[in-house]
Structure 1
Amino acid sequence: MPGRFFLTRPIAEVAKTLGVSGDVAVQSPRNNIQPGQEMIVLSGNDLIPMRWGMIPVGRVNARGRPVMETIINARSETVFDKTAFEGVRRAVVPVDGWYEWTGEKRRKTAWRIAAADRAPLFFAAITDSWQAPGGLRVDQFAVVTCEPNADLRPIHHRMGVLLDHAGVETWLTGSEAQAKALAQPWPTGLLHIEEATDVDWSAP
């Protein structure tokens, strides 16, 4: 499942690929997008900034206890059933790729994962708005995950649900049953994986 993202191509190019308006704030290339930071997300027909990580205020788990932790990823197997996700909407996160890590603590290897053809990748996500203290509204999202494909299995036991162009529209506007059907591992052989040795992990 995505640990961090990167998006270096212009937002206008992403908007053109998706066939939506590109009237969003211009962003500098970002090689290290971390949970808790803001990203551009497709919601409806608009690209809007949202924070990666959902604060599920007022929600409870299956035992009726408050959900306290910030959620950055949501399992596709349960996202439509858990009370913690009740009332959320669907969104799509456009990126150039993401990072995962393997190995022991302090000796981990970082891996960069992108489309083999260098095209943008589109992650299925859920979104809602949190009313922060003082009345501030925070639009927030979490990435939906599924079982990994053969490319990712040696690196991680989960991967984000990736969507093709038809899948983007279905995820945003289709029925719950249609959305559930999209939660499948990305076809094997369509991703390029390489060791990420050139990233400044302290930079935003």
Structure 2
Amino acid sequence: MCGRYTITVTVEELMARFGLFDAPGIPYHRPKYNVAPGQMVLAVVNDGRNNRIGELKWGLIPEWAKEESVGAKMLNARAETAADKPAYRIPLRRKRCLIPADGFYEWKREGGLKQPMRIRLKDGGLFAMAGLYDTWLSPDGRRVSTCTVLTTAPNPLVADIHDRMPVILRREDEAFWLDRQVQDPADLLSLLWAYPAAEMEAYPVSQLVGNVRNDSPQLIEPIVPPDSPVQEGWLL
């Protein structure tokens, strides 16, 4: 699954990367080093003319859900089955978004321990995770807009760490993913593959990332775990 990620850039960098200079209502943003489920996260959608950015709660609540708590179980959606699942098939056709990030965390098992790893593009740049969103109306009339991150089978780099990875869209596919006119699941699912391992790197980070209350630049600093061999693709 994808359960933690980073977005350490400025709002100006976000606007430039996703073409948001004319977008109204840019939410307040500061660099985040430990984005976690249940938090409000930045997401990019297209209104039919321009890209727009806003905040969604991480953990999708389908519009037909009876309880808000179901969102805690829908942090990720498997790309392979998204077109068939009741919670995801309509959002896949009509409610797609980009979730900007510049890295994500997974935990690698080493003996009896789990070592947190930060995984990113080799150039350290922003990327877009494929997301779905929905809006739920609570019994007391609140509108709650939520999202989920699509995942896929991992590339060889991530496979050494975890058995799933977020779908990172190729930059040239982002506009197609956001295009509201595109509703054929087959066309959309053709984009949902593992990002090339050759363009990514991973490195070990502090155990402090395990606590969602920790959110500082220290979390993304590389460390050398004791008695741990350096592996191909690791940045140290």
Normalised by the size of structure 1, how large is the TM-score?
0.88
SS of the residue corresponding to residue 87 of structure 1 reads: helix
Amino acid at match of 1:2: C
Structure 1's consecutive aligned runs of 4 or more residues displaced over 6 angstroms after TM superposition are none
Larger-Rg structure: 2
Unaligned runs of 5+ in 2: 216-236
Equivalent of 1:30, from 17, 22, 32? 32
CA distance 1:150–1:49, shift in 2 (3 Å)? same
Equivalent positions of 1:131-150 (< 5 A) are 131-150=137-156
SS of the residue corresponding to residue 87 of structure 2 reads: helix
CA distance 1:70–1:17, shift in 2 (3 Å)? same
2:214 is equivalent to residue 203 of structure 1: yes
Amino acid at match of 2:43: V
Sequence identity (%): 29
Unaligned runs of 5+ in 1: 61-66
Tell me the C-alpha RMSD between the 2 structures: 2.3
Structure with more of its chain in helix, by fraction: 2
Range 192-201 or range 121-130, more displaced: 192-201
Instruction: Provide the C-alpha distance between the structure 2 equivalents of 1:81 and 1:118, rounded to a whole number of angstroms.
Output: 35
CA distance 1:105–1:86, shift in 2 (3 Å)? farther
Equivalent of 2:55, from 43, 46, 49? 49
SS of the residue corresponding to residue 99 of structure 2 reads: strand
Is the 2:65–2:136 Cα contact (8 Å) retained in structure 1?
Answer: no
Structure 2 partner of 1:185: 194
SS of the residue corresponding to residue 93 of structure 1 reads: strand
CA displacement 1:107-137 (0-9 Å, x = unmatched) = 3210001110111011001111111242111
Instruction: Provide the C-alpha distance between the structure 1 equivalents of 2:34 and 2:17, rounded to a whole number of angstroms.
Output: 22
CA displacement 1:75-134 (0-9 Å, x = unmatched) = 111111111224211111011111001227983210001110111011001111111242
Aligned positions, number: 198
2:96 is equivalent to residue 90 of structure 1: yes
Instruction: Provide the C-alpha distance between the structure 1 equivalents of 2:140 and 2:32, rounded to a whole number of angstroms.
Output: 30
CA displacement 1:154-194 (0-9 Å, x = unmatched) = 11111111112221111111343221100111112111200
Range 154-163 or range 19-28, more displaced: 19-28
Instruction: Provide the C-alpha distance between the structure 2 equivalents of 1:103 and 1:118, rounded to a whole number of angstroms.
Output: 25
Structure 2 partner of 1:63: none
Amino acid at match of 1:203: N
Instruction: Provide the C-alpha distance between the structure 2 equivalents of 1:145 and 1:114, rounded to a whole number of angstroms.
Output: 15
2:131 is equivalent to residue 111 of structure 1: no
Normalised by the size of structure 2, how large is the TM-score?
0.77
2:81 is equivalent to residue 75 of structure 1: no
Is the 1:122–1:163 Cα contact (8 Å) retained in structure 2?
Answer: yes
Is the 1:163–1:182 Cα contact (8 Å) retained in structure 2?
Answer: yes
Is the 2:62–2:134 Cα contact (8 Å) retained in structure 1?
Answer: no
